[in-house]
Chains A and B, each alone.
Chain A
Amino acid sequence: MGMRKVAIVGAGITKFVRRAQETGKELSWQASKMALDSCGLTLDDVDMVTLGTAPDAFDGVHMKGEYLADGAGGCRKPYMRHYVGGGTGVFSPIHGWFHVASGMADICLVVAEEKMSSCHPHPQGAFLTIFDHTTEQPLKPTLIWIFALEMNRYMQAYGLSKADIARVSVKNKGNALDHPSAQVAEKITVEDVLASETLCWPVNRLDISPASDGAAAVVLASERVARRLTDKPVWIDGVGFSIDTAYWGTRDLSYPRYVETAARMAYDMAGIKEPAKEIHIAEPYDPFDYKELHHMEGLMLCPRGEAARLTAEGYTARDGNLPICPSGGALGVGNPIAATGLMKVIEIFLQLRGEAGKRQVPGKPTCGLAQAWGDLMQMGTVIVLRS
């Protein structure tokens, strides 16, 4: 396609917390500065900046991209914000990839920020507006409804129990004990999940990731520059994104077809024919525990309906055949929406470099992917990385 190779060469992240003292700008700055420091660059070296952040309604700032620009290093530079709901954080490096692959930039700083805590009485209130204002909002829906409806549909389709799904939460919250940014890392059992408060059956409190504040950033570089900056560039070999209709009641809720479409796009680009064999490690989006299973199937990392069984067998554990969410995921590290997606990309970056510390998976993985998902259960974003 005449595109240039693009590598991730540096990364930065804040702690994920329920309520940060820092403003969104300050969180963005902390992650951006760390990312530049990690690869020995300064802001002068950066050609372009992209920033991802989810709904403006979390902050009540109706130009959030512009508001955050100075903290993200965007002042006086070509700068652009992107937004695809919960899919934003994995779209962030894809947006940066366009800039570098096209030849427009040699170095692009990619930042993802979310500060959900300013919104009261609860950030979930901001999600009211994703439902159709005339045919759905008058029923006073909460965001959890659509997850509950989707989870129930998924359980019915494959005869799964709540316990089958709770294992994901147990695994991810446990994995997060080794992540320095983690907000809700915890050693828990399936029984703990089942005994936690029922919010909207079949969803219990411990099936859900928390609301969080946090930011993450990566530095992308063209091949020529990347090879000078580091001995361990991690290449962006495939990108994909796809959206389905917002008439969500019309879709088969048991299978995320849009994730499959996005994955096929990324796999084609990366030359991946058999994802279940060629992908060594993955960070699918897990804002709810069943979503990890749903997404593993959409990503074709296992046959449909099999993800729960593989999880129970330890196949997706950090020392399993296909480690899934070794970071601890949104369920364990926390879920500042856009920053979560980029946290997942950073985890694959560190794992492929062998720099994930206590979280390092065995077997020297060389190919991994991160995926996010969002809007009205309709958007899939996928990135394939190789060392």
Chain B
Amino acid sequence: MATTEKMSKTTTPTHWDADIPVNYVYTYGLAGEAFFRAIKDRGTFLGTRCDACDITYVPPKAYCDRCLEALDKYIDVGTVGYVDTFTVSFKNMDGSEKPRPRILAMIKIEGTDGGIIHYLDGISIEEVALGLPVQAIFKPKAQRKGGIEDIIGFGPVKR
């Protein structure tokens, strides 16, 4: 009798259901702490720069991943950037329709090599384009907790 035959004529298929009941609390690390403190307290973005490799990291990194040198001088890079790429999301995680489509974009911060992924706010599907200048919109200071959700989204640049 072949193995497959032995294995197929013995029982009905059944299964066992369970989950893994753990949760996580993350610290932001040395550079992440500085980045989210600046968002929370001052409503601005920080970066770090490696002169040797000519890279400005946003969000900041504590080290340059090209040469592993320490980067501990934080620079204020402001909140203005441009749309590097974007996608339009029509559905929720569970597959249901969103009441209105939302645009998720990679925002490159002006004058840096880094970017932040976030929603666009106050920019329509007709208006969005690669290279469109945008600016971060923060929650009111009192509501900011020091996290990526302190940013409501990126909207038109205020002149």
Which chain A residues have a beta carbon within 8 Å of chain B's beta carbons?
Answer: 19-23, 25-26, 29, 32-33, 36, 42-44, 57, 59-60, 70-71, 73, 75-76, 118-121, 125-126, 128-129, 133-134, 137-138
Contacts and interface: CB of A to CB of B under 8 A. Distances in A.
A29 B24 contact: no
B24 A119 contact: yes
List 5 tightest A-B contacts by C-beta distance, closest first.
Answer: A23-B29, A70-B65, A134-B16, A125-B22, A29-B63
B62 A60 contact: no
11 contacts: A22-B29, A23-B26, A23-B32, A33-B70, A42-B68, A57-B22, A59-B24, A71-B63, A73-B65, A75-B65, A120-B25
B100 interface: no
Interface string B57-100: 00001110111111000000000000000000000000000000
Contact of B66 (A22, A75, A129): A75
Contacts of B70: 33
A120 B23 contact: yes
A32 B64 CA distance: 12
B29 A21 contact: yes
A278 to B, nearest CB: 38
B33 interface: yes
A21 B29 CA distance: 5
Given A26-B29, A137-B18, A42 B67 contact: yes
Contacts of A119: 22, 24
Given A29-B63, A133-B18, 9 more contacts: A19-B27, A42-B67, A71-B63, A120-B24, A121-B22, A121-B23, A125-B22, A126-B22, A138-B18
- Name the prevailing secondary structure of the B interface residues: mixed
B30 interface: yes
B20 A128 contact: yes
Contact of B68 (A21, A36, A125): A36
Interface of B: 16, 18, 20-33, 61-63, 65-70
Contact of B16 (A26, A32, A121, A133): A133
A43 B66 contact: yes
Contacts, number: 76
Contact of A26 (B26, B30, B66): B30
Contacts of A36: 68
B62 A26 contact: yes
B22 A25 contact: no
A43 B67 contact: yes
A22 B70 CA distance: 14
| Most A Cβ at <10 Å: residue of B25, B26, B65, B70 | B65
Contact of B24 (A23, A43, A60): A60
A76 B66 CA distance: 8
Given A44-B67, A73-B68, A129 B20 contact: yes
A231 B15 CA distance: 61
B68 A120 contact: no
| Most B Cβ at <10 Å: residue of A23, A32, A75 | A23
A133 B19 CA distance: 10
A42 B66 CA distance: 10
| Most B Cβ at <10 Å: residue of A20, A25, A128 | A25
Nearest to A61: B24
A118 B16 CA distance: 28
Nearest to A134: B16
A302 B2 CA distance: 48
A57 B66 contact: no
B79 to A, nearest CB: 24
Nearest to A125: B22
A60 B22 CA distance: 9
A119 B27 CA distance: 11
A118 B25 CA distance: 5
Contacts of B67: 42-44
A26 B63 contact: yes
Nearest to B20: A129
A60 to B, nearest CB: 5
A120 B66 contact: no
B16 A43 contact: no
A25 B29 contact: yes
Contacts of B22: 57, 60, 119-121, 125-126
Nearest to B69: A33
A43 B28 CA distance: 25
Contact of B65 (A71, A120, A121, A126): A71
Nearest to B26: A118
B95 to A, nearest CB: 22
Contacts of B25: 118, 120
Contacts of B61: 70
Contacts of B24: 59-60, 118-120
A365 to B, nearest CB: 32
A29 B68 contact: yes
Contacts of B20: 57, 125-126, 128-129
| Most B Cβ at <10 Å: residue of A20, A26, A36, A138 | A26
